[in-house]
Chain A
Amino acid sequence: MKKLAALALGAVMTAAMAVSAQAGTLEDVKKKGFVQCGVSQGLPGFSNPDDKGNWTGLDVDFCRAVAAAVFGDPNKVKFTPLSAKERFTALRSGEVDILSRNTTWTMQRDTELGLNFAGVNYYDGQGFMVRKSLGVTSALQLNGAAVCTNTGTTTELNVADYFRAHKMQYEVVAFEKADEVVKAYDEGRCDVYTTDRSGLAAQRLKLKNPDEHIILPEIISKEPLGPVVRHGDDQWFDIVKWTLFAMINAEELGVTSKNVDEMKKSTNPSIRRLLGVEGKFGENIGLGSDWAYNIIKHVGNYGESYDRNVGPKTPLGLARGLNALWNKGGIMYAPPVR
């Protein structure tokens, strides 16, 4: 909380200064030598530090991809763990250059809050988790339940809408820190834990007995999660946006971290443009021609990152579902490099 207040004060101070730093994020980043990336305070599979403080996850990979695009080095990135409540203030006040932290793209955030969403790196929806022992099989049986969740999220708004729409009573217990939510739910303060379904799959791993809990079938909202930048710097917005598109296009074109060097010799014009063999696409967004090559070489394409962090072979075990490519039954789709 102190941190939120400090950040908010920072934002106010920034607003009070004569010239607020707006444009020129790329120059700033190059000058300081790393990308400052806002991530969660620990959500396995998405952004999670290990014992040694090394961050991994789908959202972390994205930060590394931006660093690779700018510097050719995926390690030139620093992470700022942010609670859901602090994140936008931190981004707007310039504390971080990108927010890559399971953040839902909503109209209000995209407009009124002064943010730009660079795209979607995980299509999600909100769900409910309960103890198996309650014998509940549908969210519609949750009348009168106590619900634990995070403050400053779309989650706390959706849950209010859902219960009201179905004329059900509920009590919301909203914590700022995700770990406190897990703890309170585990200790029995709530009957239900609600957040994005990917978040449920991740947080469930932190429970004492993950097997005693089930995720109910209902998906009560659309939660397109993606990286965010602040308004007012189109160049930086383009870089972040096309970093994501490069990863998705690479998967579609079959370019992986393993074969990217051979792929440079490919005759497929789409691949040649992506890898900077043809055209000046990198130069046009202020980067080197090998921007996408570096992303793929060091971080991998979207599919590789997905499988490594949240896919069926990981503890989270999330099937690709909606997040499969558009031509493989999902809705992951990126505009072409041309």
Chain B
Amino acid sequence: MSSMAQSVQETSAEHGARMMRFWLVVICAIIAFLAFYLAASRFYYKSPTGMFTDVATWLGNIGAALVSFEGGFFTWLGRVVVAAINVAPLFTVIYFAGMLWRLYRWVVEEHPRPASANPLFDRHFRGIFSELVVFTALAAFVWWIVGNTVDNLHRLGKPPGFDFLGTTAGFGINQILFLDYSETSSYGKALLAGLLNTIVLSLAGIVLATIIGFIIGIMRLSHNWVISQLAYWYVEFFRNVPLLLQIFVWYHVVLKPLPGPRQSLTVADSIFINNRGIYSPKPIFTDAWWFVVAAFVFGIIASWFIARWAHRRQMETGQPFPVVRTALALILGLPILVYFLVGQPVSFNYPELRGFNYQGGMRIIPEFMAMLLALSIYTGAFIGEIVRAGIQAVPHGQTEASLSLGLARGQMLRLVIIPQALRVIIPPLTSQYLNLTKNSSLAVAIAYPDLVAVGGIVLNQSGRELEVIAIWMLIYLSLSLATSAFMNWYNAKMKLVER
């Protein structure tokens, strides 16, 4: 319907409302423009066109930077971040344009209008208007902060940027996993090494804490008074002593009584324990090892198909199939068989005492041991309570019902109680996993080189507070989001059991 035709029959009240709407749009447009102009001019103190020149230069540099990986990679990464910050106002312009377009549509188009002539009582208009106001305020605030920071850093002679990540680090790190870091590597690589140390510590901690937690939770429900009291006191004690204190105690408990390298405790002439860590033989795989790996992968895939087939058959005919035993045979038995068939394709590199310390083999440093013990024992106490609550949340009627259906005790636990308990357990368990990951940052106290410890060194040696903090926040946020995403997925999967 054309608006012209409509306006002919307009009453004066309708006309007033229309004019009011028109002026509101004009006001919105002015607010939007002013906000954008203020923010953008604050940020681009040089000139508005500077932004486009900068972005073009950076895009041009990306190609060149990609040529050499290490320094280049981080330079590149930094440029992308800076470029993203720079084009943000561009997106804002687009966003404002979109909003104005929506307002315009609202003026010219027919929407179900309320009786009132006042557009502020129109839900549709209010939606657009409040969104615009909130967004403008937010954008102005963000730009004010970012603009000031950039300005002041320029004035201090430290323009922000991530180029420093490509600079030579120059310091050593005492646990390097899956990387070839040395003192001549870059700050970026040092941070990567720290990140890997955080991830490995957190994962190991999560697994161990879960095991401890389930044991404690189940012990706590035991009918045996001594066992349940033991679990009770475990929980009360470890939950209430500050974690940092526990970390220090474990570190010095691990360190103090252990002998020096020359008087190491020895297990079977191949594992050595001393105050520098636990050393064990390191497996060295020959090419034939791949057959074993292939057998293992095959075992997993075959087990999966067998489980599906067995499930379907049981649904149709009611005949059970020993899936677990078959799968075990396939996943463990088969590779072991292949291992011997291809002639044991593994040799071992034994640690040996050379000079001050053991060299070669595999090693767990005492700082890792102490962190792992402290984190998993502490978090295990919380998880124990969660498990107890989860199991107790399943009504006793469920037990009675499954027993009267003729399920065996194991079947009852596996098929009825645990699936229902897990629904209650998983959400709080997720937050414990997140806590453990964040608590792993206390590692800095005992020289375990996690992300915070290494990041702190980088921050101090390079003087890049802003950038390092941004990296910390981004990484811990991503780790947390990844953990919750995984746990949410698992939770959703577990929920299906409920049907």
Query: What is A's interface to B at a CB cutoff of 8 Å?
Result: 1, 4-5, 8-9, 11-12, 14-18, 20, 84-85, 88-89, 92, 108, 112-114, 134, 142-146, 151-152, 156-157, 159-161, 164, 169-177, 180, 183-184, 187-189, 191, 231-232
Q: A12: nearest residue on chain B (CB-CB)?
A: B466
B457: interface (CB < 8 Å): yes
Beyond A152-B456, A187-B256, 14 additional contacts (C-beta under 8 Å) are A1-B444, A8-B459, A8-B469, A15-B149, A15-B153, A85-B460, A114-B158, A144-B357, A156-B172, A159-B172, A160-B170, A172-B174, A180-B447, A189-B275
User: Is residue B260 contacting chain A, with contact meaning CB distance below 8 A?
Assistant: yes
Asked if A172 contacts B465 (CB within 8 A), the reply is no
Docked pose: A85 CA to B444 CA in angstroms:
12
Classify the secondary structure of A's interface with B.
mixed
Given A144-B359, A173-B447, decide whether A114 and B156 contact each other with a Cβ distance below 8 A.
Answer: yes
Number of interface residues of B (CB under 8 A): 49
Residues from chain B with Cβ under 8 Å of A84 in the complex = 460
The distance in angstroms between the C-alpha atoms of A31 and B478, with both chains bound, is 45
Asked whether A156 and B171 contact (CB < 8 A) given A8-B465, A17-B148, A187-B275, the answer is yes
Task: Name the A residues within 8 Å of B275 (CB-CB).
Answer: 187-189
Contact B171 A1 (CB under 8 A): no
Check A189 against B366 for contact (C-beta < 8 Å).
yes
Whether A114 touches B183, Cβ cut-off 8 Å, given contacts A9-B469, A12-B466, A188-B275, is: no
Cβ of B468: which chain A residues have Cβ within 8 Å of it? 8
In the assembled complex, the Cα of A72 lies from the Cα of B156 at a distance in Å of 33
Q: Which residue of B lies closest to A159 (CB)?
A: B172
Residues of A contacting B7 in the complex (Cβ-Cβ under 8 angstroms): none
A152 to B454, CA, bound (A): 10
Residues of A within 8 A of B222 (CB): none
Residues of B contacting A164 in the complex (Cβ-Cβ under 8 angstroms): 183-184
CA distance A160 to B170 in the complex (A): 7
How far is A1 from B447 in the complex, measured between Cα atoms in Å? 12
| Choice from B359, B442, B457 contacting A156 with Cβ under 8 Å | B457
Given contacts A85-B456, A183-B252, contact A146 B446 (CB under 8 A): no
Shortest beta-carbon distance from A58 to chain B in Å:
23
Q: In the complex, are the beta carbons of A146 and B276 less than 8 A apart?
A: yes
Is A12 in contact with B171, judged by CB distance below 8 angstroms? no
- In the complex, the chain B residue whose C-beta lies closest to that of A8 is B465
Within 8 A of A (CB), among B176-209: 183-184
For A188, list chain B residues within 8 Å (CB): 255, 258, 260, 275
Q: How far is the CB of A113 from chain B (nearest CB, A)?
A: 4
A93 to chain B, nearest CB (A): 8
- Which residue in B174, B442, B452, B465 is a CB contact (below 8 Å) of A89? B465
- The answer to whether A1 touches B441, judged by C-beta atoms less than 8 angstroms apart, is yes
Residues facing A in B456-499 (CB within 8 A) are 456-457, 459-461, 463, 465-466, 468-469
Chain A: minimal CB distance from B284 (Å):
20
Q: How far is the CB of A185 from chain B (nearest CB, A)?
A: 11
Q: Cβ of A15 and Cβ of B152 under 8 Å apart?
A: yes
B 352-390 binary contact with A (CB < 8 Å = 1; else 0): 001111010000001100000000000000000000000
Would you call B445 an interface residue if the criterion is a C-beta within 8 Å of the partner chain's C-beta atoms? yes
Measured CA separation A4–B469 after assembly (Å): 11
Listed from nearest, the 5 A-B pairs whose CB atoms lie closest are A152-B460, A144-B355, A172-B172, A160-B183, A113-B463
